[in-house]
């Protein structure tokens, strides 16, 4: 008996999925409002953070401005410290001279400049009224300095000092470096402004050569000694472990003339 074919599966039709209902305009507006606006709790926390930040800052600012603190005065530096560069040297000399402290200003000058300031101090001792007036107005003396040109051993600086309501005092100074310390060696009145273009006579050399330690008093270097050896002795060798020494030139030594008595007679020719 032939086998019967298996029955074909009966496919059940799927139930249609109901379409999702589209939200209305009012529901969309309500959802956007909830997403775009913070909750009342968030607003309260933001306010607490803002107050915790601003209130201490305002309290510190008021307390800092309300207290009465003494005015801080600049530190008093030694003259050697002020004379480490040409600008501070010229500035300090001009400030001291404009304040009537000529003897203290002379510590920063040399030669004619120092003598000029000492003479001014001597005149102050004879006629103290003008100097006392300047010293009384020392807090109203303002000085500025402008470096016109500078080299390793020389520099030119311009200064301008305002003493109360008087016209400003302007000077052109030339400074020299002596063993790491700057001194004013020339001080002349300046007619123009301190920030005017640099004049040719104010230019200094950007390089300088210090005299060698082995030079003679006339400023000329002494020649190095030359080693001369007689013929046959060769060149001196380098010590053990040292780098080889280049051979030196040896001047030839001419032999000394012999005495006639010590010369041997020439051999006589034999006659035929």
In a domain, 230, yes or no: no
pLDDT in tens, 195-220: 888 888 888 877 766 555 544 444 44
Would you say residue 261 has pLDDT above 60?
no
pLDDT in tens, 220-232: 444 444 444 455 5
- Determine the Cα–Cα distance for residues 143 and 149; give it in Å rounded to an integer: 19
CATH code for the domain in which residue 186 is found: 3.10.450.50
Q: Which residues contact 210 (CB under 8 A, 6 or more apart)?
A: 153
In a domain, 109, yes or no: yes
- Give the least confident one: 8-22, 108-122, 241-255: 241-255
**% of the chain beyond a pLDDT of 90:** 10
Q: In this predicted structure, what is the pLDDT of residue 50?
A: 93
pLDDT in tens, 44-79: 999 999 999 999 999 988 888 776 767 677 677 888
Q: Taking a C-beta distance cutoff of 8 angstroms, is the pair 90, 157 a contact?
A: yes
| Number of independent structural domains in the chain | 1
In a domain, 55, yes or no: no
Q: In this predicted structure, what is the pLDDT of residue 58?
A: 92
Task: Tell me the average pLDDT across 24-50.
Answer: 82
In a domain, 250, yes or no: no
pLDDT in tens, 114-172: 899 898 888 888 888 888 888 888 888 888 898 988 888 889 999 998 887 788 889 99
Would you say residue 233 has pLDDT above 60?
no
- Determine the Cα–Cα distance for residues 245 and 220; give it in Å rounded to an integer: 28
With 0-12 / 13-18 / 19 or more C-beta atoms within 10 angstroms meaning exposed / middle / buried, residue 67 is exposed
Q: Find the angle CA(63)-CA(67)-CA(68) to the nearest 5 degrees.
A: 170
In a domain, 127, yes or no: yes
Would you say residue 248 has pLDDT above 80?
no
- Whole-prediction pTM: 0.52
The dihedral over CA atoms of 107, 111, 115, 116, expressed in degrees to the nearest 10, equals -100
Beta strands in the chain (DSSP E): 141-150, 154-163, 169-178, 181-189
In a domain, 37, yes or no: no
Helix orientation angle between 112-126 and 128-136, rounded to the nearest 10 degrees: 100
In a domain, 108, yes or no: yes
Domain interval for residue 111: 79-194
Give the gyration radius of the chain's Cα atoms. 49
In a domain, 241, yes or no: no
């Amino acid at each position: 008996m032939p086998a019967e074919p298996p029955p074909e599966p009966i496919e059940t039709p799927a139930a249609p999925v109901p379409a999702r209902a589209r939200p209305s305009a009012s529901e969309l507006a309500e959802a956007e409002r909830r997403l775009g606006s913070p909750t009342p709790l968030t607003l309260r926390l933001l306010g607490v953070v803002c107050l915790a930040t601003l209130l201490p800052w305002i309290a510190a600012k008021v307390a800092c401005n309300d207290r009465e603190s003494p005015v801080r005065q600049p530190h008093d530096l030694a003259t050697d410290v002020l004379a480490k560069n040409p600008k501070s040297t010229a500035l300090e000399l001009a400030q001291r001279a404009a304040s009537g402290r000529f003897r203290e200003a002379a510590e920063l000058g040399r030669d004619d400049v120092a003598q000029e300031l000492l003479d001014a101090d001597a005149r102050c001792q004879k006629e103290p009224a003008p100097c006392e007036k300047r010293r009384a107005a020392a807090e109203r003396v303002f000085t500025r300095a402008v470096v016109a040109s500078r080299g390793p051993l020389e520099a030119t600086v311009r200064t301008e000092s305002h003493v109360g309501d008087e016209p400003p005092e302007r000077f052109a100074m030339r400074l020299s470096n002596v063993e790491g310390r700057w001194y004013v060696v020339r001080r002349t009145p300046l007619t123009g402004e301190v920030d005017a273009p640099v004049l040719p006579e104010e230019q200094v050399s950007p390089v300088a050569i210090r005299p060698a330690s082995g030079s003679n008093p006339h400023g000329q270097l002494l020649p190095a000694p030359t080693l001369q050896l007689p013929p046959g002795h060769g060149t001196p060798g380098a010590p053990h472990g040292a780098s080889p020494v280049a051979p030196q030139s040896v001047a030839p030594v001419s032999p000394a003339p012999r005495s006639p008595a010590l010369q041997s007679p020439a051999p006589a020719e034999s006659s035929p």
